[in-house]
Structure 1
């Protein structure tokens, strides 16, 4: 009976992993593209863009409500609270949310200054930071294949640093371009810390972590990230500028607000997908999935925005793909070895149990 429950739980977690990988894919590819769309057609507000990355947090109330109604139907005597989160989980989630708000601003600043293809490749270096912090905070175990993947991805990002002004947008100074490059790199490093911090929060929590609780964590993180960016918007007077900017938007005022709304929705799928993958697997896998989607973002940026794709980007892309293949090849080999070991152990147990 216990084996059947364990197998059912494992299947559920695998299904959740697939769903969250899909959410992460949508957000990771769509988020940078729609943010860049805002900037190239007349948008100027960096704080507004960073605010939109988490402003869609009220959407989380829908699945949280569905989860509560399901719990109340299945076990009405225990489902007495709408929110399950307790204070010792709320506080670290709020703190990580504030860090996410800072990361949002740094990333939005970089996207405002860099082509999507360049910013995407720089963000690939996030995996190296995630790996390092995962080792320090959650004692992540590495194989030769995962180490090889991290090294290749890091070198791929470094290749771009050698040619930081080769694809500078027209009319942008070299100083602004370099600052955008450094801010994007800083955002990659900070998010590389946030992912393992989230995994550590799960492990140190004094209550059982369920997926419905993950939804609450995501809402709290996004809420505090939004509050952080709201302060920046108030200081920068971005709220007053929205209507004026909408009237002057190159794609029209209606499309301006459509871009803002869809930006908030798409980015919410990214953040939910990222912490959902951590819940189902690990922070390292979340970082790997983000990096795996790099080629897709690259191709979409070239198709939709006619961005240049010079030699250094090609080299960086090849190194990144090589790193991805190395990681997943290692994971497949490890999975097969584990299955063989389990099969051997089961055979030995059966042989010993026979008279």
Structure 2
């Protein structure tokens, strides 16, 4: 009798595991959609803001996480539901994870500011290529922080993406916007690279915080982490806005905005929605999978951003950008193939171990 119950329990374990994996895959797909829509539309809207007279960099930085209060409702509903069901499972994040979230939130605020400087001076076709190097930095930091192994494919991806950035740096004068000095263009270039490096560190840091916290990843946990990181990032940017007197300058900026006051506020609102969507997708993918998967998807979105920037913005796509894009895609393909090969090797190894007869 006991043996039958034990066998039935063992039979149900693979089914439960399969259901868990299918839910996890669905969540990753949803987060991927959030990331794609938010990143493509958000970057275009930020550039439109600057092209038509916008100058507030800390204001744009704050929009990345300004929508964090939207997390309160689903977190509250989930809490009430678990309390009603008398669920004794820990609901709120641990103090250690909360501290990690606060640090990562401040770093996100700094990273957003660096990217904003780049977006204010660089065309989208350039800034998106440079920001895609965050995958290379993620690979490097993930190796040191969460012990992801270096492979020939990952090293190849890092080198190719760096070479693409160097090509853009050596031939950057040909695509400088009218009225923009060489110093401003160079500043935007350098700040975007530094932002990509910090972004890579943050991606690995989010995964590191989860590993060190030693907690099971659940939907509730991901929502709370996103809320905390977004809140601290927003608070950091708001303090900077107060110091920089951005709130007093908004009224004047709306009057001078090239598309009019109504469209000024509309662009800010849509930018906040888009960037918050991107933030949800970013953190969700890292917690449900890994920082490296997020980096791969982020790099894959680059050519799509290039197409939209040429269609909707006054930008060209010259031979240097084509070469840099080719290197970016080559690096992405190399890394993706390496990950695919490793996964197939691990599956074959597990299958062999599973088919070996039990030793007596």
Q: TM-score, normalised by structure 2?
A: 0.91
Partner residue in 2 for 1:23? 34
Q: Residue 156 of structure 1 is aligned with which of 148, 156, 164?
A: 164
Q: Residue 171 of structure 1 is aligned with which of 171, 179, 191?
A: 179
Cα distance, 1:39 vs. partner?
A: 0.8
Partner residue in 2 for 1:78? 88
Determine if the alignment matches structure 1 residue 44 to structure 2 residue 33. no
Partner residue in 2 for 1:331? 339
RMSD: 2.0
Separation in 2 of the partners of 1:277 and 1:105? Answer: 22
Cα distance, 1:141 vs. partner?
A: 1.9
Q: Is the 8 A contact 2:127 2:189 kept in 1?
A: yes
Separation in 1 of the partners of 2:71 and 2:269? Answer: 15
The C-alpha deviation readout for 1:78-105, integer Å capped at 9, x for no partner, is 37x9x61232111110011111111111
Separation in 1 of the partners of 2:149 and 2:131? Answer: 23
- After superposition, the Cα gap between the structure-2 partners of 1:22 and 1:7, relative to the gap in structure 1 and judged at 3 Å, is same
1:241-260 residue pairs with structure 2 within 5 A?
A: 241-260=249-268
SS of structure 1 residue aligned to 2:356: helix
- After superposition, the Cα gap between the structure-2 partners of 1:281 and 1:77, relative to the gap in structure 1 and judged at 3 Å, is closer
Cα distance, 1:211 vs. partner?
A: 2.3
Determine if the alignment matches structure 1 residue 238 to structure 2 residue 254. no
- After superposition, the Cα gap between the structure-2 partners of 1:159 and 1:66, relative to the gap in structure 1 and judged at 3 Å, is farther
Partner residue in 2 for 1:348? 356
Query: Which portions of structure 1, spanning 4 or more consecutive aligned residues, are displaced by more than 4 angstroms?
Result: none
The C-alpha deviation readout for 1:224-267, integer Å capped at 9, x for no partner, is 11111112211221111222222332222121111111111111
Determine if the alignment matches structure 1 residue 292 to structure 2 residue 303. no
Separation in 2 of the partners of 1:68 and 1:127? Answer: 35
Separation in 2 of the partners of 1:269 and 1:156? Answer: 28
Structure 1, unaligned stretches of length 5 or more? Answer: none
The C-alpha deviation readout for 1:131-166, integer Å capped at 9, x for no partner, is 111101110123332332222222112211112222
The C-alpha deviation readout for 1:6-61, integer Å capped at 9, x for no partner, is 22111111111111111111222122111101111121111111111111111222
1:250-329 residue pairs with structure 2 within 5 A?
A: 250-329=258-337
Q: Is the 8 A contact 1:125 1:153 kept in 2?
A: yes
Q: TM-score, normalised by structure 1?
A: 0.92
Partner residue in 2 for 1:228? 236
Cα distance, 1:332 vs. partner?
A: 2.9
Separation in 2 of the partners of 1:152 and 1:66? Answer: 46
Separation in 1 of the partners of 2:184 and 2:259? Answer: 25
SS of structure 1 residue aligned to 2:238: helix
Instruction: Count how many residue pairs are aligned between Structure 1 and Structure 2.
Output: 349
Partner residue in 2 for 1:143? 151
Partner residue in 2 for 1:63? 74
Q: Is the 8 A contact 1:111 1:180 kept in 2?
A: yes
Separation in 2 of the partners of 1:257 and 1:274? Answer: 26
